[in-house]
A and B are shown apart, each in its own frame.
Chain A
Amino acid sequence: MSFGQCSNNASYRYRSLVIGMLSLVSLLGVAACSQNNEKNSPTGHSSSISGVIYCSESNPGFFNPQIDTSSTTSDASAHQIYNRLLDFDAQTGRIIPGLATSWLVSKDGLTYTFQLRRNVAFHTTEYFQPTRNFNADDVIFSFQRWLDESHPYHHINGGLYPYFDSLNLAQTIKSVKRINGYRIEISLFQRDSSFLANLATDFAAILSAQYAQHLSILNKPSDIDFLPIGTGPYQFKEFRKDQFIRFTQHPQYWQQTERPQQLIFDITPSSSLRFAKLVTGECDTIAYPSQTEIEVMQANPKIIVQEAPGLNIGFWAFNTSKAPFKDPKVRRALALAIDKSTILDAIYFNSATRARSIIPPASWAFSADIPDLNYNPVKARQLLKEAGYSNGFNMNLFAMPVVRDYNPDARRMAELIRTYLAEISVTVDIQTSDWDKFRSDLSTGKHDSVLIGWSADNGDPDNFYRPLLTCAAIPSGTNRAMWCHPEFDATVNAAIATDDIDERKAFYQTANEIIAREIPLMPIAHAYRYSVHNDNIQGLTINPYGGIRFANVRESR
């Protein structure tokens, strides 16, 4: 006596449910293979709450650009929280007034006097409420902190100021004097035509002296770099590592610009995840879009792509302080063994120009007639034999874990290089690790060679030669090739001693020839800079010197 018949109406109803389930599974199959068909508006976030979400690529080390040169830190702090004495105009690149309304340069070029802006308010947050506006004391405090060793705040959070050390500004600046409440005077030891440009870079941020006193009373001085106070458009609210940074609008910002209620950095390390979030509308703009996705973004009407020639250089640096790489013949052999054009196609997907030397075409100091090395494995093997390594050697290759314009996927580039070097019997062990550990290993010289790069902070060509290849830049960790060449240093110092453009160009040309002869590093590409955002926001302009500025971004929903 089976029970089938007695509940046949029940099973009919359940059968329809089952068919519903089956159609869902088949929908899974069909839709999965369909290409990116037309899609409706991104759901993203409802309009009831205003805010801009930016998918950044990694955690900032600190919230003070003075002590950390990584672009993540300056993205998260320099342009959103702090202001500088001077700024760059996004389009023309010329220097425009920032917190200093006007400035006067003496004839001998040794003393600069700055007239400061009045009634500029600092941020008021839960952890600090300022009682006075911005004045000269803050500028003095900000400069003295990295200039004068004995300054109470100099050794807070490591006491290292890599950018200023690499330009050894501490030796060029003699003194910073306070004339009155809103005027200061800086005097130098010798002329430096790139000094004004250096004051306009991200790293010359202006901190709050009153906040510093407040913290030293509570004797928690290290908070100055973790709970920042500045005069910029946004004020810091909360940071949770590997998850997000939250800023709220600075109500009394001195520039009247229309800004969203809150700005959020959603930390998403993987670039494909960032791109996916842009498509689903969970992020309004993303950092370092990977080249493969640029074409797809251009095809998508909802996403606006801005492109500008970048002031950057991606290169493959050899650690010249170690055995096989001391000999320039070995370095030349390795450089010849690599086919630069395939790397440009496979990694940059023709969104970069082939690099002949470290100076990009966008800079005025660029000159076309620099000899370029093209792919010649036979000569490479012969050079290796001459240098005594006929049966090759093994070396490690540090591949940068994070994404940057100048090198979108260092890991895949390393794999390509490995297959090329295998042909001249050089075995390569690719090493990559977490970004902080990676940089500390580099500065202690654990690497044989490294795939990394540099993006300029200001328009001055000196910003390429000095931090990358001068002897002073080795301790500060920006000279990855550990290369110290007296003649090269002399040419670079001579270049900044004069103001005449043609003379400086000639000096930089001799510097390029020294690099081409010695090959401490093999320049690979100058990548275009992309800024990508969906149509939820407007007013985001691309900046030639990298970084992202939300000062005059507004929601267009």
Chain B
Amino acid sequence: MPDVNLYDDEFHPTPWQSTWREFKQSHIALVGLTTLMVFVVLAILGPLITPYAPDLQNTSALILPPAWHDNGSVLHLLGTDVLGRDMLSRIFYGIQVTFGGAVGAVLFALIIGTTFGAIAGMTSGVRSSILNHVLDTFMVIPSLLIAIIIVAILGVGLSNAVLAIGLALIPRFVHGTRNFVKEEFGKDYIKTARLDGASSIQIYFKNILPNMIDVIIVQGTLAISVAILDIAALGFLNLGAQTLLPELGVMISEGLATAYIAPWNILLPGLSIFLMVLSINVVGDGLRSALRNRMSQ
């Protein structure tokens, strides 16, 4: 029996609640969401709960296998690397650096991308179509190339890598927002607002932006997974974060030196990147299908 509603007025779920109900339907999405929450908590509180400082060199325990291995020790749950630094705390710091960097890059790209997209969407005529084409072509330039140029100009370092990836992600948001704005402007509720004499800026902020939030969030989550992969790749090629910073990609490239003797130095950081990206992808995909179902109902 559906719960009795005394006032008998219709319970109209807000768009968010119906998206959430739609999202709850798929269990994989929920599992993805919980793992993502775990990673977010790790990213924020990681450094507080790590047993050791990330660069504390315990010279007595060099290249210790993880605890579940026969000669591993419980002191270092995930073993140690070639300089004796504890793997578990380094991975926690790594998550904070990589995840934080990715979120920073996506926020940067999101803000600039949406404004550009909105402007491109609202203007029309030859000039804007040329501008749109140029922005589209920049979406096609590989992100590693942009990163290489930025590193060549500004030098290596995590902040430059985050900037480079942010720049590489901007075209993606511009493309998404412009298509959405162009579509919305075709709809009637915008025409009525325009008939009431609202300027396109007002329309954008009052009408289009609220509707665009969902699209932006979906694009944002999927962009975070791309950003994590790129930051880790730049760290691996040590174009981004340098060996000082415990970043996951850098840890893998350091683990390379003892790849054959201590494969876990490569596997564990890679596994945490993989799980982080997987959970974000699952959540992003769940959100997108939830949105699609809500729209089509």
Contact = CB atoms under 8 A, between A and B. Distances in A.
Report if A and B touch in the complex (beta carbons < 8 A): yes
Interface of A: 32-33, 35-36, 270-272, 275-276, 279, 290, 292-293, 295-296, 342, 345-346, 409, 412, 415-416, 419
Interface in B35-59: 57, 59
A415 B242 CA distance: 13
A270 B57 contact: no
Contact of B257 (A33, A272, A295, A296): A272
Interface string B243-266: 100000000000011111101100
A413 to B, nearest CB: 11
A321 B197 CA distance: 79
A412 B83 contact: yes
Size category of the B interface is: 10 to 19
Nearest to A295: B261
Contacts of A279: 260
A292 B256 contact: no
Nearest to B56: A419
Given A32-B267, A346-B59, A270 B256 contact: yes
A272 B57 contact: no
B257 A271 contact: yes
Contacts of A295: 261
Given A272-B257, A272-B258, A296-B261, A345 B83 contact: no
B84 interface: yes
B63 interface: yes
Given A32-B267, A346-B59, A272 B83 contact: no
A269 to B, nearest CB: 12
A218 B172 CA distance: 59
B30 interface: no
B229 interface: no
B215 interface: no
The 3 closest A-B CB pairs, nearest first, are A272-B257, A342-B59, A292-B258
Contact of B267 (A33, A271, A293, A416): A33
Contacts of A36: 260
A416 B261 CA distance: 21
Nearest to A411: B243
B278 interface: no
A290 B257 CA distance: 9
B151 to A, nearest CB: 16
B62 interface: yes
B263 A33 contact: yes
B260 A275 contact: yes
B218 interface: no
Contacts of B193: none
B82 interface: yes
A266 B257 CA distance: 19
A366 B196 CA distance: 99
B227 to A, nearest CB: 25
Contacts of B258: 272, 292-293
Nearest to B266: A32
Contacts of A415: 83, 243
A293 B261 contact: yes
A296 B263 CA distance: 13
A416 B263 contact: no
Contacts of A346: 57, 59, 62, 83-84
Contacts of B260: 36, 272, 275-276, 279, 293, 296
Contact of A32 (B82, B243, B257, B263): B263
A270 B256 CA distance: 9
Interface in B57-71: 57, 59, 62-63
B82 A272 contact: no
B259 A276 contact: yes
A409 B83 CA distance: 12
From B62, B82, B267, name the one whose CB has the most chain A CB atoms within 10 angstroms.
Answer: B82
Contacts of B57: 346, 416, 419
A379 to B, nearest CB: 22
A419 B57 CA distance: 9
Contacts of B263: 32-33, 35
B267 A272 contact: no
Contacts of B257: 270-272, 290, 292, 409
B182 to A, nearest CB: 35
A272 B59 contact: no
From A36, A290, A292, A416, name the one whose CB has the most chain B CB atoms within 10 angstroms.
Answer: A292
A270 B238 CA distance: 14
A275 B260 CA distance: 9
B63 A292 contact: yes
A296 B259 CA distance: 12
Contacts of A412: 82-83
